[in-house]
Chains A and B, each alone.
Chain A
């Protein structure tokens, strides 16, 4: 469950603070600016603005986590209106992943000028100054404290944690996951299908590690985790964990 609260900078800090009353307070205080939800006779239309993609996704993610989201998104037909925005294949994938995460079926809506279909639109390279195949998001969710058992972050971008990820906690991110602390819980990086994502931590002893479509689990025998920072990535179809080497 992803919980966000409005901070002075906007909504780029998505926290791990999970509570009944926090959720209620957040529900009253926050209205989206990057997306609009409109109910019509036969369903719900989600219109995405031209704003930064990460903010659009983050706002949609927050809307989906609202206490009453189940009622709102239960509409028989959900249309996604992208306006003038042309979606890259990656963006389409992220959007689909986010909605699938919440078991929501949807269809693309054409407004005449654009027909955004998966795989058909040009990637907007201007927003991403790198030509690398690795997806670049503008922002990352920062969790400034330890994630305890039962607490979960789901974010359509990178996730950084300042603290531990305890056993029983879970992070699901479309991008990379970096933990300035110990990882004992479950981490899924590149959850929208990106095998290039990485998981880095000061100590990696996760219950389970997932990158893209790959899953690795801790050995059944108790082992003393290696001390020192490590990074996990997919190499030749397998998740491997390497010690972090300082680059000059």
Chain B
């Protein structure tokens, strides 16, 4: 049994790579898969915060590649899910502290111990991106329905193809169905027409993402949140299941929220 390495990247910053990595990791672990998340954003580490594991960091990825710590020592086990582990980035160094060969060796050492290795890529197309992409078996591109984010995603897809990786899959993040309906936001079809890659998930804009990230409890732990359910479906698709895409309704009006709540007290439903 050897792990699948999935790199989550986007080009543009702030579209939700780290949130996506954390939540897919949680969702896969909840389904009993052994998962290791690697934060490749050296110098700007975030994954530990989103997962709520910041206070447990002793060693980081640079300590491992420079031989100051063994991989096992640096990996932090999640406080809720024993199947989930995380390798934090170093905060005091920069991207050049690690090179693509070292990333390959690192993931190869991990492959026999877990089922999935998720790599949280930094924004940009430079050294950090090349590190993150080098060991990838699969690539997931995260974009929001904004012209600038889609443009950067297009650039990244070109670079992923040039690195001779399999065709990446797309997560459309922070979709606001109400805005799409009014014609104020790019629709899923518009984004897919430009990027011409397969969709693996749509995550609606959801305030619980922000509250959960601040609390260090990823939304995928919450079965009441729309976004959490979206990540659960993405995890199922990663495992090869054919899960239909949900149609999100505009829940922004108070009345609609009440209607939804009465229809399904567990929230969302779609």
Contact = CB atoms under 8 A, between A and B. Distances in A.
B196 interface: yes
Nearest to A16: B158
A21 interface: yes
Contact of A150 (B130, B155, B164): B155
Contact of A148 (B130, B155, B163, B164): B155
B11 to A, nearest CB: 9
Interface stretch (A67-75, A162-170, A223-231): A162-170
Q: Looking at chain A's contact residues, is the secondary structure mostly helix, strand, loop, or mixed?
A: loop
A164 B161 contact: no
B163 A168 contact: no
Interface string B93-131: 000000000000000000000000000000001000010
A17 B159 CA distance: 9
A39 interface: no
Contacts of B151: 149, 167-168
Q: How large is the interface on A (under 10, 10 to 19, 20 to 34, 35 or more residues)?
A: 10 to 19
B154 A168 contact: yes
A217 B158 CA distance: 25
Interface in A120-172: 146, 148-151, 164, 166-168
B210 interface: no
B158 A150 contact: yes
Interface string A1-34: 0000000000000000111111000000000000
Contact of A19 (B152, B154, B155, B159): B159
A151 B163 CA distance: 14
B154 A149 contact: yes
A70 to B, nearest CB: 20
A18 B196 contact: no
B1 interface: no
Interface in B162-214: 162-164, 194, 196
A100 B169 CA distance: 41
Contacts of B152: 149
Contacts of A21: 163-164
Nearest to A167: B151
B157 interface: yes
A19 B194 contact: no
Contacts of A151: 158
B155 A17 contact: no
B75 to A, nearest CB: 30
A166 B196 CA distance: 11
B154 A18 contact: no
A19 B157 CA distance: 12
When A and B form their complex, which 8 residue pairs have the shortest distance between CB atoms, in order from nearest?
A19-B162, A148-B158, A149-B155, A149-B154, A150-B155, A148-B154, A18-B162, A166-B154
Interface of A: 17-22, 146, 148-151, 164, 166-168, 184
Given A19-B162, A167-B154, 11 more contacts: A17-B162, A19-B163, A19-B164, A148-B158, A149-B152, A149-B154, A164-B196, A166-B194, A167-B151, A167-B194, A168-B151
25 contacts: A17-B161, A17-B162, A18-B158, A18-B159, A19-B163, A19-B164, A21-B163, A22-B162, A148-B155, A148-B158, A149-B151, A149-B152, A149-B155, A150-B125, A150-B155, A150-B158, A150-B159, A151-B158, A164-B196, A166-B194, A167-B151, A167-B154, A167-B194, A168-B151, A168-B154
